[in-house]
Amino acid sequence: MDPSTCGMYRTGAGGAPGTPPDPPGAAWRQKDAAQAPDGTEGAVPRWLARAAGCGVGAATDPEDTMKRMKGRTMKRLPPCWATLTALYALGAAGLSGALPAHAQAVLLSDDFNGRPDGLITNEFAYFNPTAPGARHDGIWEMTSGSFFARGGLGYSGVPDTAAPNAASSNGTDSAVFRLDTIRRDFGDVAVDFDLNNRALYNNTGQPPDAGDGVTVWLRYYSQYTLYAIKVNRRDGGIDLKKKTPPGPSNGGTYYTLAHTTYAVPYGAWQHVRAAVRNNADGSVGLWLWINGRLVLTATDDGTYGGPPLRQPGGVGLRGDNCEFYVDNFAVTDVSDACALFPDTAQYNFETSAQDWQSTGGMITGVAQSAANAFDGCSGLAVHFAAAGPDVRQARVLAPPVPAGATVTFHVWLPASSRLTYVMPFVTEGPASGYRFDGSYRPASQLRAGAWNTIAVTVPPDAATPADVLGVEFGCDGPWSGTCYVDSVSW
C-alpha cells in the first residue's frame, strides 16, 4: 500500500478472524503528518553517515511525548536519509533469515487462547494497583492504554485518549499503547508474534504522526531506557532505535540506529521476529525479520545514547494511534548464536537425522550433529572408514520433492580425504523408470574444509513421489573421516 494512503485505510477486507466491525464515527481522513515543516529523526551510525557523505548528530525524536501532550513537534527525514535508507535496505536484502525450524528454549509465550473476551489489563491497574476492580495480569502490565483478549487474540481496542476506568468501559487510551512484560530477565532473546495492523486513526486526540504504528520493545528497563523497533510506521518506514535518558521524549531521547522502508499490509497478518543479542566485543546486535525475511539489523556500540543496553530486561509492544491484533507472542532464548539464523530447509537436521541412512560399506553411519552446520545449529554427519576403493550413499527414501524442483544440497568435505567425487542426486519414481538425476562433482571441483553448494534439477516430467534423494561419495583408497550434509531444500 502506498504509505501516503495509510490514513485512508478502512477495515472489512482481509481482517483478523473475529475482528469487530468498523468503529463508529472514525474519521478516515488522509494523513498530513509527513508534511511537517522541520525536525530531524535521530542519529545514524557514523560509518554509514560517512559513507553517504552527510553529517549527522544525536538529534532527538519527539515521538514519545507525554501522553496527551498537545502541539507535538513533527519530524521529517533529513535529505541524506534517502541515500542512507537505500544503502541499508540494499545490504539487508542480501541477508537471509527465517522462522525457527528447530525447538529453542521458549522463555515466555501467550497465544491468548483460553483467555475470556474482555480486558486483560490497562493503565488504570498500573496506576491504581489496589483499586477495586483493577485488572492485573500474570504476564502483562501497561503504563498507557488498554489491552483486551478477543477471539483468542490480543487486541489494542479502538484507540482514543480517554482516561480508562478499571474495566476500560469508558474508553481505552490506546492512542498511546504501552504494554510490557512483568518479567525483566530476558537477555539474548528473540520475540516472535503475529501482527494484524487494522488501521491508523487521525482523530484520537493524539495528533497524527509519521511514526504512528506498532513498535516492539527489547531490553525494556523502563519507559525511559529501551530498544524500540518500529515495525509498522505510518510513513512506511521501519526503525531500530535506542532510548535513553535524559531528553524531551517522555524523559528520554531516541537515537535511530538503522532505518529502512516497508509497505505496511493493513488488515493482513504479518509475522514479526525481533532479536537482541550481546556481542563479544561489548556491543549489542539487533535484528528484525518480517514474514521470515531479515529486513533490518544494527549494532549498538555505544556511539549514541550512552553504553549499549547489555543487561537483561523486559520486552513489550507499543502502539500509536493504531488499532491492532497480536497473536502467538513468544520469547525464545537466542544466546546460542546459531539460533539467530535458523535452518528452514526441508532437510535441516536440526533435531534429528530425518530418516537419512547409509548404504553401508565405507559409510559407517549417519547422524545429526552439532559439530558442523551450513545453517542453523546442526547438520548431518556422514562417517567414513574406507578399507579401499568404494562408492556409497547417504540418502533418504521417498522424499517429498516435486517434479520440476531444483534441489540445493550443501556438502562439507574435510581438508584431506581420498574422496574422488561427490554426486547429489534424486532418483525418480517407478512411473519414469527410476530415472537418476545427479550432479557429478569431481574432487578437483570441490572445496576441502568448506561447504560446497550443489544443485540438482528434477525434470518436470519426473514421476513422484521420488524414490530416493541423497549424496553419493566415491573413494579411491583407505581413508577415515567425516563429511557433512546440511540444508537440502527446494
Q: What does the buried/exposed string (b/e) look like for 362-399 if buried means 16 or more CB atoms within 10 Å of the residue's CB?
A: bbeebbbbeebbbbbbbbbbbbbebeeebebbbbbeeb
Instruction: Select from 33-41, 187-195, 343-351, 352-360 the region that touches Ca ion (CB under 5 A).
Output: 343-351
DSSP three-state, residue 311: coil
The alpha carbon torsion through 212, 213, 217, 223 (nearest 10 deg) reads 40
Q: How far is the CB of 326 from Ca ion (least distance, A)?
A: 9
Residues in the chain: 490
Instruction: Select from 86-94, 105-113, 120-128, 432-440 the region that touches Ca ion (CB under 5 A).
Output: 105-113
The alpha carbon torsion through 261, 265, 268, 272 (nearest 10 deg) reads 10
Q: In this complex, which beta carbon is closest to Ca ion, that of residue 283 or of residue 328?
A: 328
Q: How far is the CB of 481 from Ca ion (least distance, A)?
A: 20
Q: In this complex, which beta carbon is closest to Ca ion, that of residue 62 or of residue 470?
A: 470
Would you count residue 453 as binding Ca ion (CB under 5 A)? Answer: no
DSSP conformation letters of 352-398: S-TT-EE-STTEEEEEEESS--SSSS-EEEEEEEESSSEEEEEEEES
Phi, psi of 317 (to 5 degrees): -130, 145
Q: In this complex, which beta carbon is closest to Ca ion, that of residue 212 or of residue 327?
A: 327
Would you count residue 348 as binding Ca ion (CB under 5 A)? Answer: yes
Query: Which position has the grid cell 489491552?
Result: 147
Mask for 312-331, x = binds Ca ion (CB under 5 A): ---------------x----
Q: In this complex, which beta carbon is closest to Ca ion, that of residue 81 or of residue 329?
A: 329
Within 108-167, the residues that bind Ca ion by CB under 5 A are: 111-113, 152
Q: In this complex, which beta carbon is closest to Ca ion, that of residue 113 or of residue 406?
A: 113
Spatial distance between the Cα atoms of 382 and 395, rounded to a whole number of angstroms:
10
Rg value, the chain, Cα: 26
Q: In this complex, which beta carbon is closest to Ca ion, that of residue 475 or of residue 488?
A: 488
Q: In this complex, which beta carbon is closest to Ca ion, that of residue 288 or of residue 373?
A: 373
Residue of 211, 213, 376, 424 that binds Ca ion (CB under 5 A): 376
Q: In this complex, which beta carbon is closest to Ca ion, that of residue 180 or of residue 327?
A: 327
Within 210-269, the residues that bind Ca ion by CB under 5 A are: none
Mask for 61-100, x = binds Ca ion (CB under 5 A): ----------------------------------------
Would you count residue 486 as binding Ca ion (CB under 5 A)? Answer: yes
Spatial distance between the Cα atoms of 302 and 305, rounded to a whole number of angstroms:
7
Q: How far is the CB of 276 from Ca ion (least distance, A)?
A: 23
Nearest to 380 by CA among 423, 346, 406: 346
The alpha carbon torsion through 464, 470, 471, 477 (nearest 10 deg) reads -120
Binding site for Ca ion (CB under 5 A): 111-113, 152, 327, 343, 348-349, 373, 376, 486
